[in-house]
Amino acid sequence: MNKIYSDARLATADIPHGATLMLGGFGLCGIPENCISALVDSGVRDLTCISNNAGVDDFGIGLLLQRRQVRKMISSYVGENAEFERQLLSGELEVELIPQGTLATRCLAAGYGMPAIYTPAGVGTEVAEGKEVRRFGAQDYLLEMAFQADFALVKAWKGDAHGNLIFRATSRNFNPLMAMGGKITIAEVEELLPAGALEPNQIHTPGIYVHRIFQGKDYEKRIEQRTVRQRGGVSDPS
């Protein structure tokens, strides 16, 4: 099975209007930049995006929001995007906010083939409205369903022709979980190597979970919030 695609445009070409997508990354770290740009260019609309966050106004998922391509956001943190806030308050965008641990575990459940999980997070809050609550021992737990994503879009540091992936530093957060959970997983990598070139003990996501892979380009790797300190009255970015 040839999993290698030449670029993001071809790898994402069959993502239809109304698709549900998992998008890896944490803040702006480890996001599938090339795939997002390809979706912007394609004009696909009415997307449901499952992501840790909604990007910022002019980067990441924020680019899709700018062009009104997202119908629903399922996230755990959305505080850095003014356009997201505007669409939410105006009723243009459907939003489901989820505790971060629950978000990760629902991704994991999808990868493991589990239909649902029980978690104590959210019990007794708005998160629990309309959901089953069950008591185990002395504590109540909330039933949360595993995600059903048509596609998972992830970004890795290295990958090989079989789809095995290695993530670097902070990008090893939601990316491995989402790579497991999509019905079709598309991986963009900074370095694409021949099969067998990766050290097996270093692989984070086995290629069995990855259906398409391509070598990305022109990564901006933007910093979401730059913190500096004062040294002698002059800002020091070190």
Based on the structure, what is the number of domains in the chain?
A: 1
| In-domain check, residue 36 | yes
| In-domain check, residue 131 | no
Domain around 160: 8-115+147-215
Mean pLDDT, each 10-residue run in order, the chain (238 residues): 96 98 92 97 97 88 94 88 89 93 95 96 93 96 96 98 95 94 97 96 97 94 75 60
What span, in angstroms and rounded, lies between the C-alpha atoms of 12 and 113?
A: 24
| In-domain check, residue 120 | no
Adjacent-strand bridge partners of 15? none
**Considering only CA atoms, which of 181, 185, 184, 133 is closest in space to residue 159?**
185
Length of the chain as a residue count: 238
| In-domain check, residue 231 | no
Beta-strand relationship, 212-215 and 139-145: unpaired
| In-domain check, residue 220 | no
Model pLDDT, residue 75: 93
Q: How many CB atoms lie within 10 A of CB 111?
A: 20
In the 3-class helix/strand/coil scheme, how is the chain assigned residue by residue? CCCECCCHHHHCCCCCCCCEEEECCECCECCCHHHHHHHHHHCCCCEEEEECCCCECCECHHHHHHCCCEEEEEECCCCCCHHHHHHHHHCCCEEEECCHHHHHHHHHHHHHCCCEEEECCCCCCHHHCCCCEEEECCEEEEEEECCCEEEEEEEEEEEECCCCEECCHHHCCHHHHHHHHEEEEEEEEEEEECCCCCCHHHCCECHHHCCEEEECCCCCCCCCCCCCEEECCEEECC
| In-domain check, residue 129 | no
Q: Which pair of tokens denotes residue 218?
A: 């022109």
130 and 117 Cβ atoms separated by less than 8 Å: no
112 and 98 Cβ atoms separated by less than 8 Å: no
| In-domain check, residue 62 | yes
What span, in angstroms and rounded, lies between the C-alpha atoms of 82 and 151?
A: 27
User: pTM for the full model?
Assistant: 0.90
79: exposed, middle or buried (C-beta count within 10 Å: 0-12, 13-18, 19+)? exposed
Which residue is it, tokens 């990008």? Answer: 171
**Considering only CA atoms, which of 77, 55, 149, 159 is closest in space to residue 108?**
149
What span, in angstroms and rounded, lies between the C-alpha atoms of 182 and 152?
A: 5
| In-domain check, residue 232 | no
Instruction: Supply the CATH number for residue 190's domain.
Output: 3.40.1080.10
